[in-house]
Amino acid sequence: MGRSSTSVDVAVIGAGPYGLSLAAHLRARGVEHRVFGEPMGPWKHNMPRGMLLKSYPWASCLSDPASEFTVKSFCTERALPYHDTLTPLTLERFIEYGEAFRMRYVPAVENKVLTALEAVGGDLRATFDDGETVNARRVVVAVGLQPFRHLPRDVARLPAELCSHSGDYGSLEPLDGKNVTVIGSGSSATDLAALLHERGIPVSLVARAPQLRFANRPRNRSFIQRMVAPLSGIGPGWALTACAKYPQLIQLLAEERRIRLANPSALGPLGGAFVKDRVIGKVPTSLGTSLQGIGIRNGRVLLDLVSTGGARQSLQTDHVIFATGYRVDASRLGFLSQTLLRDIRLVKGAPQLSSHYETSVPGLHFIGPAAANSFGPVCRFVYGTHHPARALAQYLSSILVRSRPALQVRPFDRTVLP
């Protein structure tokens, strides 16, 4: 049974690092808003336990108004081991940090799913799976990467019990007792291969790349090394440092240049620094090998493979995991009405955004990975939460709060959490 319509100044769709960071800044500025989604949902359900974040711990912090609740301060409060670079951040620890951040800065997250979004008059109307309809003056979509999982075209027709995407895990328990093949060479592929092997599941890895690349283990760097290739929140080098620190300048560049910067070769495919020794010499690999065809024989997956030298081979396996990444495509967001989708100006499938992260549809904003074609590669990292949280909250405050009486905002609770 439907519920009566309500209204709000800002509706934030998504409660991951980007949605939570923006909400923390909106709350601090007294902007009326509501946040929808499961807090840290994809991190809880679509990434395997035991995974290590590829980013350094110091670069894996959400954005709060005073820049005070970092991963380091979270660990310090709880007497947990921490190092800015030398100790990797586990998925479980990062989820705990995200939940603690939510409790401090975004106490009112509504765990419901957006099913429809349409423009009505001067507002945007959002309908949720519990029947509630919310009219919002502004909607900020912060859904992360999960809706944009990319699979080869031929795979979509195969049953899920035989083929899946690396973003489907979560628990690896459904793969117990199966022979598994992982296709890919990036961090998702090598992370899963290592975890499956350590779980006792027979696993092999197939990749077009002639060799697997891994990030260098952290080490003390000389002054000269730091000058030649400064370390940024998304990788080493002056180009990535500029992308990490100044996304607002990236947005001013010509479209072709922005697209190239959004997908630099320096960022991947690249395995995590602490995963190399868990894969090399332990997981059987077929490198320099491309998938030419896929089918089913006697209830198993049959892979038709060809090497760079032209040699062909067939491989049978119980299950194939495609660690084939993500491609932002706004048309895959099922909640967007066809009219709205038609009115959004796209760049290579992603919305073209203004300096305020606004699409060509007035009042509709995107932050997170969907903004990478406009603001650069930092949008694909947790480190990228800082600029949209601050800049967009400031902008929305300037256009919304001045037209309303001041809101009473409860001070942040800075007590140490258990």
Query: Does residue 304 share a domain with residue 157?
Result: yes
With respect to residue 124, please indicate whether it lies within any of the assigned structural domains: yes
What does DSSP assign to residue 27? Answer: H
Measure the CA–CA gap between 126 and 93, rounded to whole angstroms. 33
Q: Are strands 133-141 and 6-13 parallel, antiparallel or unpaired?
A: parallel
Measure the CA–CA gap between 92 and 141, rounded to whole angstroms. 25
Residue range 340-397, pLDDT digits in tens: 999 999 989 999 999 999 999 999 999 999 999 999 999 999 999 999 999 999 999 9
Give 401's Cβ-side CA count (13 Å radius): 18
Query: Does residue 316 share a domain with residue 330?
Result: no
The residue from 295, 322, 349 where one domain ends is 322
Range of the domain at 200: 153-214+270-322
Look at the chain and count its residues. Answer: 418
With respect to residue 240, please indicate whether it lies within any of the assigned structural domains: no
Query: Does residue 165 share a domain with residue 45?
Result: no
Distances, alpha carbon 67 to alpha carbons 83, 85, 101, in Å: 18, 19, 12
With respect to residue 165, please indicate whether it lies within any of the assigned structural domains: yes
Query: Does residue 95 share a domain with residue 199?
Result: no
Measure the CA–CA gap between 39 and 35, rounded to whole angstroms. 10
With respect to residue 248, please indicate whether it lies within any of the assigned structural domains: no
CB neighbour class for 384 (10 Å; exposed up to 12, middle 13-18, buried from 19): buried
Query: Does residue 312 share a domain with residue 330?
Result: no
Q: Where are the alpha helices (DSSP H) in 329-385?
A: 338-343, 372-375
With respect to residue 277, please indicate whether it lies within any of the assigned structural domains: yes
The residue from 299, 322, 345 where one domain ends is 322
205 close to 269: Cβ distance less than 8 angstroms:
no
Question: Residue 100: which of 37, 20, 36, 44 has the closest Cα?
Answer: 20
The residue from 322, 339, 358 where one domain ends is 322
What is the structure's pLDDT at 222? 72
Task: Determine the residue type at 297.
Answer: R
| 181 beta partners | 204, 320
Residue range 311-320, pLDDT digits in tens: 999 999 999 9
Query: Does residue 91 share a domain with residue 30?
Result: yes
With respect to residue 246, please indicate whether it lies within any of the assigned structural domains: no
Query: Does residue 38 share a domain with residue 90?
Result: yes
Query: Does residue 294 share a domain with residue 198?
Result: yes
Count of structural domains, the chain: 2
Question: Residue 302: which of 314, 291, 311, 285 has the closest Cα?
Answer: 314
81 close to 75: Cβ distance less than 8 angstroms:
yes
0.85 exceeded by pTM: yes
Q: Are strands 312-317 and 300-307 parallel, antiparallel or unpaired?
A: antiparallel
With respect to residue 229, please indicate whether it lies within any of the assigned structural domains: no
What is the structure's pLDDT at 261? 82
Query: Does residue 201 share a domain with residue 118?
Result: no
- Domain CATH code at residue 365: 3.50.50.60
With respect to residue 66, please indicate whether it lies within any of the assigned structural domains: yes
Distance from CA of residue 123 to its chain's centroid?
28
In angstroms, what is the C-alpha Rg of the chain?
22
Residue range 254-307, pLDDT digits in tens: 988 888 888 766 566 788 889 999 999 999 999 999 999 999 999 999 999 999
Q: Is the pLDDT of residue 414 over 50?
A: no
What is the structure's pLDDT at 1? 40
Query: Does residue 170 share a domain with residue 135?
Result: no
134 close to 11: Cβ distance less than 8 angstroms:
yes
What is the structure's pLDDT at 385? 97
Query: Does residue 377 share a domain with residue 306?
Result: no
Confidence of residue 415 (pLDDT cuts 50, 70, 90): very low
Q: Is the peptide bond before 269 cis (omega within 30 degrees of 0)?
A: yes
Query: Does residue 344 share a domain with residue 304?
Result: no
21 close to 60: Cβ distance less than 8 angstroms:
no
Measure the CA–CA gap between 63 and 246, rounded to whole angstroms. 16
